[in-house]
Amino acid sequence: MIIDNRAGAGGTVGAAVVARAQPDGYTFLVGAVHHTVAVSAYKKLSYDLDKDLIPVTGMAYVPDVLVVNPKVPAKTLPEFIAYCKANPGKVDYGSSGLGTTRHLAGEIFNARTGAQMVHVPYKGSGPATAALINGEVSAVFEGLGSAAGHIRSGTVRALAVFARTRSPAFPDIPTAAEGGVPDFESLSWYGLWAPAGTPREVVAKLQSETAKVFEAPDIKSIWFQQGAEPGGEASDKYAAFVKAEVGKWGKVVRDNNITLE
């Protein structure tokens, strides 16, 4: 297997390469949630996610988590909301970039709670987390897997996971619903696509083999330590999930007038 890392433009550069590739069963896209945001956020894409790529299966589903600098006086999500309301426009949150799901999660949070946090975009989750630890920003919405080490070491404080249930890897972190913000789910997820025209039997084979891999105990252990749920589901189920994510994030993009070049 050859990994061709085509970074840039929220993953759309790599997606475009696969969309134009020969559908011979030898080229696939490992993509993520940001592809469903790109559909609405970018003025122009050189490919159509729905028509040019075939959803194969999911790979991992990781809930996003709200983490704050330990110096922030709030110890719980309700306390943090109250803290933001008492300091309107003075509490800032970092994200991995403009138009990312972590940016949009913050906008949803503001709209649902009246927090009025100020967004500070960084070039990736690493710089955003570093800024949080250094006290440049008060909060960050981050994938639980990426934040896991910092949560365990105490360099950041986790207030809530944005999932329907608590994470088995971090059972002490309450859900957003438990903190008074219901119906707020934000996942960092990763999945596989194939170029349109790839034979059905090839797509089915890749899906079934991927599902087998995720049943391996060592892979399950790695995913668990990162707070992730393994994928491997049937292609039609994954396709329906992708479609729902396009709709969900598209509404947030439109509501906040977010446009990317």
pLDDT band at 128 (very low <50, low <70, confident <90, very high): very high
CA distances, 218 to each of 108, 181, 213, 221 (Å): 36, 35, 10, 5
Distance of alpha carbon 190 from alpha carbon 230, whole angstroms: 10
| CB 180, CB 157: distance < 8 Å | no
| pLDDT digit string, tens, across residues 230-248 | 999 999 999 999 999 999 9
For the chain, list the domains and their CATH numbers: 10-59+190-255 (3.40.190.150), 62-161 (3.40.190.10)
Average pLDDT, integer, range 149-165? 95
Per the model's pLDDT, the better-predicted residue between 7 and 251 turns out to be: 251
How do residues 86-116 score in pLDDT, each as one tens digit? 999 999 999 988 888 889 999 999 999 999 9
**pTM for the full predicted model:** 0.84
Beta strands at 139-143 and 92-95: parallel, antiparallel or unpaired: parallel
- Model pLDDT for residues 20-50, shown as the tens digit of each residue: 999 999 999 999 998 999 999 988 899 999 9
d(CA 153, CA 147): 10
pLDDT in tens, 51-69: 999 999 999 999 999 999 9
For every residue of 88-137, DSSP letters joined together read TTT-EEEESSTTSHHHHHHHHHHHHH---PEEEE-SSHHHHHHHHHTTSS
Which of 142, 150, 139, 67 has the alpha carbon at shortest distance from 101? 142
